[in-house]
Amino acid sequence: MDRRLPPRDGEWIDRSQSVEFRFEGATYRGFEGDVLSSALWANDVRLLGRSFKYHRPRGVYSLAGHDANLIVEDGIRTNMRGDMLAVSSGLDVRSVNTLGGLDRDRLSITGRFGEFLPVGFYYKAFHTPRRLFPFYENQMRKVAGLGRINSANQRANSPKDYAFCDLLVVGAGPAGLAGAIAAAEQGLDVLIVDEQQRPGGSLVWQWADAATAREHLEGLLEQLAAHDNVRLWCGTQAAGYYGDYWVALVDDTHLTKLRAKSMLVATGCFEQPAVFQNNDLPGVMLGSAAQRLIQLYAVKPFDRAIVLAANSEGYRVALDLNEAGVDVAAIADLRRDGEATELAQRVDDAGIRVYRGYCVYEAVPAAGNKRIRGATICALDEKGVPRSEALTRIDCDGIAMSIGWTPNGGLIYQAGGRFTHAEHVEQLIPQTLSPGTFAAGRVNGVFGLESQIDDGYRAGLAAAAHLGSFTGDVPPSPSHYESPSSHPYPIIAHKGKKNFVDLDEDLHLADFENAHQEGYDNVELMKRFSTVGMGPSQGKLSNINAVRILARLNGATINQTGTTTSRPFHQPVPIRHLAGRSFHPQRRTPMNHWHVRHNAEMVYAGAWLRPEYYRVDGESRDDSILREATHVRNNVGLIDVSTLGKLQISGPDSVEFLERIYTGRFAKQQVGRLRYGLACDETGVIIDDGVIGRFSEDRFYVTATSSGAAAQYREMQRWAQIWNMDVTLVNATGHLAAINLAGPCCRDVLQELTSTDLSATAFPYLALGEAIVAEVSAKLMRVGFVGELGYEIHVPASQAMHVWEALMQAGERFGIRPFGVEAQRLLRLEKGHLIVSQDTDALTSPFEADVAWAIGKNKTFFVGARSLAILRKKPLTRRLVGLMFAASDAGTLPEECNLIIANDELVGRITSIAPRSTLGYPIAMALLSPDLAKIGTTVKIRVDGGSLVEAVVASMPFYDPENSRQNVQAES
Amino acid sequence: MPHRLLKFALSKKHPEPRMFRAPTELKSEYDAVIIGGGGHGLAAAYYLAKDHGITNVAILEKGYIGGGGTGRNTAIIRSNYLTPEGIRFYQGSVELFQDLSRELNLNLFYSKRGHFTLAHSPASLRTQRWRAEVNKHLGIDSRVVTPEFIKETVPEIDLHVGGHQAPIHGALYHPPGAVARHDAVAWGYARGADRRGVEIHQRTAVTDIEIRDGAVAGVHTDKGFIKTRKVLSAVAGWTTHITPMVGLRTPLVIHPLQAMVTEPLKPWLNSIVVSASLHLYVSQSSRGELVAGASLDPYELISMRSTLDFAEGMSTGLLDLFPCLGDIKVLRQWAGLCDMTPDFSPIMGVTPIKGFYIDAGWGTWGFKATPISGKTMAFTMAEDRDHKLIEAFSLSRFKRLELVGEKGAASVGH
Amino acid sequence: MPLRSGISIMKIITCPINGPRPLQEFHFGGEVRTMPDPNSATDEQWADYVFNREGEPGLKREWWYHVPSGTWFIAERDNRTDEFVRTFLYGAEECDG
Strand pairing partners for B330?
A573, B262
Among left, alpha and beta (phi > 0; psi -120 to 50; other), residue A826 is alpha
**CA A412, CA A457: separation in Å to the nearest integer?**
18
Q: Give the Å distances, CA to CA, from A288 to A403, A539, B1, B135.
A: 11, 18, 41, 61
Residue A105: what residue type?
D
Report, as an integer, the average pLDDT of A510-527. Answer: 95
Among A960, A959, A949, which residue's Cα sits nearest to residue A910? A949
The C-alpha atoms of residue B235 and residue B366 are separated, in whole angstroms, by 11
Domain annotation covers residue B41? no
Nearest to B110 by CA among A123, A529, A119: A123
With beta carbons under 8 A apart, name residues in chain B contacting A895.
129
- CB of B69 closer than 8 Å to CB of B368: no
Single-letter code of the amino acid located at A451: S
Closest by CA position to A89, among listed A20, A166, A24: A20
Nearest CA of chain A to the CA of C56: how many Å?
22
Taken as a whole, chain C contains a residue count of 97
- Contact indicator for A569, B303 with CB cutoff of 8 Å: no
Cα dihedral value A501, A505, A506, A509, nearest 10: -30
Tens of pLDDT, residues C34-81: 999 999 999 999 999 999 999 889 999 999 999 999 999 999 999 999
Sheet strands side by side (includes C26-31):
C26-31, C59-66, C71-78, C83-88
pLDDT at B315: 96
Q: What is the ipTM of this complex?
A: 0.95
- What letter represents residue B259's amino acid? A
CATH annotation of A1-153:
3.10.20.440
* Neighbouring C-alpha atoms within 13 Å toward the C-beta of A545: 30
pLDDT, mean of residues A514-534 = 95
Angle of CA points A157, A159, A163, to nearest 5°: 160
**Counting beta carbons within 10 angstroms of the beta carbon of residue B140, is it exposed (0 to 12), middle (13 to 18) or buried (19 or more)?**
buried
Contact flag C52-B300 (C-beta cutoff 8 Å)? no
- Rounded average pLDDT over A399-426: 94
User: How far apart are the C-alpha atoms of A644 and A737, rounded to whole Å?
Assistant: 8
Helix (H, G, I), strand (E, B), or coil: what is residue A305?
strand
> What would you report as the CA-atom Rg of chain B, rounded to the nearest whole angstrom?
21
| Per-residue CA distances from A389 to A279, A380, A755, B146 (Å) | 20, 11, 112, 71
Sign of CA dihedral A186, A189, A194, A200: positive
CATH code assigned at B330: 3.30.9.10
pLDDT for residue A76: 86
Q: Where in chain A is the domain with CATH 3.50.50.60?
A: 161-270+406-466, 273-403
The listed CATH number (1.25.40, 3.30.420, 1.10.357, 1.10.10) that belongs to domain A491-575: 1.10.10
pLDDT for position B16: 87
CA angle A419, A423, A428 (to 5 degrees): 25
For A652-663, write each residue's pLDDT tens digit. 999 999 999 999
Is residue A73 pLDDT above 90, yes or no?
yes
Please state the domain count of chain B.
1
CATH class of C12-94: alpha beta
Please determine, for residue C96, whether its predicted confidence score (pLDDT) is greater than 70: no
* Cβ neighbours for B141, distance < 8 A, ≥ 6 positions apart: B135, B174, B175, B176
The reported pLDDT for the residue numbered C31 is: 97
Q: Is the pLDDT of residue A888 over 90?
A: no
DSSP 8-state class, residue A128: S
Q: Please, are residues C3 and A710 in contact by the beta-carbon 8 Å criterion?
A: no
Residues in A closer than 8 angstroms to B403, CB to CB, are 683, 843
Give buried/exposed letters for A712-733 (b at 16+ CB in 10 A, else e): bbbbbbebbbbbeeebebebbb
Q: Report which of A581, A525, A531 is spatially closest to residue A254, judged by C-alpha positions.
A: A581
Neighboring chain B residues of A116 at a CB cutoff of 8 Å: 1, 5-6, 8-9
Give pLDDT, residue A129: 87
**Distance between CA atoms of A28 and B365, rounded to whole angstroms?**
54
We find that the CATH architecture of domain A875-972 is Beta Barrel (2.40)
Give the residue from C26, C28, C33, C35 with the most A CB atoms within 10 Å of its CB, the best one to mutate: C35
**Per-residue confidence (pLDDT) for residue B409, from 0 to 100:** 63
In the stretch 739-798 of chain A, residues with CB closer than 8 A to chain B read none
Helix (H) or strand (E) holding A398: strand A398-402
| Stated length of chain A | 972
- Give the CATH fold of the A161-270+406-466 domain: FAD/NAD(P)-binding domain (3.50.50)
Range 107-166 of A in CB contact (< 8 A) with B = 113, 115-118, 121-128, 130, 133-134, 136-138, 140-142, 144-156
Q: How confident is the model at residue A892 (pLDDT cuts 50, 70, 90)?
A: confident
pLDDT of res. A368: 87
pLDDT of residue A115: 79
Q: Does the CB of C58 have a partner CB in chain B at under 8 Å?
A: no
Q: What is the pLDDT of residue A476?
A: 86
In a domain, B181, yes or no: no
A513, containing H or E segment: helix A509-517
Interatomic CA distance for residues A408 and A176, integer angstroms:
14
Given a contact cutoff of 8 angstroms between Cβ atoms, the answer to whether A747 and A765 are in contact is no
To the nearest whole number, what is the mean pLDDT of chain A?
Answer: 94
How large is the average pLDDT for residues A513-539? 95
Residues of chain A with CATH 2.40.30.110: 875-972
The tally of CA atoms less than 13 A away on the side-chain side of residue A903 is 3
Flag whether pLDDT at A793 surpasses 80. yes
Is A142's CB within 8 Å of B267's CB? yes
Largest interatomic CA distance in chain B: 65
Domain, as residue range, for B302: 114-176+253-340
The per-residue pLDDT for A482 is: 62
Residue A66 has pLDDT above 90, yes or no: yes
- The strand pairing partners of A639, in sequence order, are A740
Crossing angle of helices A523-530 and A509-517, rounded to 10°:
120
Among A276-285, A304-313, A466-475, A882-891, the least confident range: A882-891
User: What does the H/E/C string look like for A650-695?
Assistant: ECCCHHHHHHHHECCCCCCCCCCEEEEEEEECCCCCEEEEEEEEEE
Nearest to residue A609, comparing CAs of A597, A619, A601? A601
Confidence band, pLDDT 50/70/90 cuts, at residue A890:
low
Quick: pLDDT tens for A163-178: 999 999 999 999 999 9
Q: Which residues of B touch C24 (CB under 8 A)?
A: 309
Closest residue, chain C, to B251 (C-alpha):
C52
Entry pTM:
0.95
Residue C9 pLDDT > 50, yes or no? no
Query: Residue B394: inside a domain, yes or no?
Result: no
The radius of gyration of chain A from alpha carbons, rounded to an integer in Å, stands at: 39
Model confidence pLDDT, tens digit, residues A578-637: 999 988 899 999 999 999 999 999 999 989 999 999 999 999 999 999 999 999 999 999
Query: Which backbone phi and psi does A233 adopt, to 5 degrees?
Result: -115, 110
A758 phi and psi, to 5 degrees?
-100, 15
Cβ-Cβ contacts under 8 Å between A and C: the total is: 55
Q: Which of A440, A468, A477, A464 has its CA nearest to residue A167?
A: A464
B299–C44: do the CB atoms touch at under 8 Å?
no
For residues A310 and A399, is the Cβ–Cβ distance under 8 A? no
Residues sharing a CB contact under 8 Å with residue A913, sequence separation 6 or more, in sequence order: A829, A893, A894, A895, A896, A922, A923, A924, A925
Q: Is C42 in CB contact (< 8 Å) with chain B?
A: no
Pairing label, strands B329-340, A573-574: antiparallel
Answer whether A718 touches C (CB < 8 Å). yes
Strand extents, DSSP E, B249-379: 253-262, 272-275, 280-284, 290-294, 329-340, 347-350, 356-360
Residues of chain B with pLDDT under 50: 412-414
Q: Shortest CA distance to A235 belongs to which of A257, A223, A251, A224? A: A251
Confirm whether B401 is domain-assigned: no
Q: Which CATH architecture has domain A273-403?
A: 3-Layer(bba) Sandwich (3.50)
- Span of A114-118, A711-715, A754-758, B240-244 with lowest mean pLDDT: A114-118
Chain segment A431-489, per-residue pLDDT in tens: 999 999 999 999 999 988 889 999 999 999 999 999 999 999 999 887 665 668 899 99
CB A517 within 8 A of CB B18: yes
The tens digit of pLDDT for each residue in C34-46 reads 999 999 999 999 9
Neighbour tally for B324: CB within 10 Å: 19
Element of type H or E holding A373: strand A372-379
Give C81's contacts in chain B (Cβ within 8 Å): 303
Q: Between the CA of residue A918 and those of A101, A631, A747, A892, what are the distances in Å?
A: 69, 10, 22, 19
Which amino acid does the sequence have at B396? S
Give the 3-state DSSP-derived string for B385-398, with helices as H, strands as E and coil as C: CCCHHHHHHCHHHC
Q: Which residue of A has its CA nearest to B264?
A: A145
Determine whether the interchain pair B8/A117 forms a contact, defined as Cβ–Cβ distance below 8 Å. Answer: yes
Instruction: Identify the CATH assignment for A640-828 out of 3.30.230.10, 3.30.310.50, 3.30.1360.120, 3.10.25.10.
Output: 3.30.1360.120
Name residues 454-493 of chain A within 8 A of B (Cβ).
none
Report d(CA B260, CA B334) in Å as an integer: 6
The closest alpha carbon to A508, from A203, A925, A51, A188, belongs to: A51
Q: What confidence score (pLDDT) does residue C3 get?
A: 27
In the predicted model, is pLDDT for residue A388 greater than 80? yes
Burial tier of A285 (Cβ tally within 10 Å: 0-12, 13-18, 19+): buried
**Residue A13 to residue A530: CA distance in whole angstroms:** 40
